[in-house]
Amino acid sequence: MKIKIGFFTIMFALSLILSHSLFSLASLLAALTHELGHILVAAVCRIRLKECKIGIYGAGLIPEGHLFSYRKEILLCSAGPLVNLALGSVGLWGYRQASSDFLLWFSISSFVLGMMNLLPIKDFDGGRILRSLLCLRISMRSADGILQALSFFFIFTLWCFSVYLLLRASSSLSLFIFSISLFVRIFIPEK
């Protein structure tokens, strides 16, 4: 399997590592375990991976050869968030035992990453899971239409929440930028 990492992703990861922040390192570890969950399930389901593209929005696993079933897609997409939620719980238990700030930040990062990825937004794990579930019952075109509408609703909700936080607490500029960039990526076609 080839691994491709974007330039801005490398710069972002380096800035997190060089910040010497426990939160940054915990966040990188949560993202790494998330992707390893996907890769492990791909191996168990005998899905050969041709390429792994790592970008600012996460990683994309590209299967080799033919497409696989909707059920395997559901398993594959569920793996990353489930690993995050499970390891977040283990990290929280460890924090209660040892009062380690790193374990607390790892738990928070894992829970946030896992829950965000379960949102029914196109290209998120939750969006891919929902699309596959819908395609088991209705046409692909109808499933895509439903997912497009839900993506708009949830991205707009994230944006509203980020505006509220900016106005109320003067924080969450990153969520504001993330929601706008996500909207542009999904809804504004490239030329």
Once rounded to an integer, what is the mean pLDDT over residues 149-159? 95
State pLDDT tens for residues 35-51.
999 999 999 988 888 88
Q: Mean pLDDT score of the chain, rounded to an integer? A: 88
Place of tokens 């896992």: 114
State pLDDT tens for residues 60-115.
778 887 667 899 999 999 999 999 999 999 999 999 999 889 999 999 999 999 99
- Model pTM score: 0.84
Residue 56 confidence class, pLDDT cut points 50, 70, 90: low
Domain boundaries of the chain, sorted by first residue: 1-118, 120-191
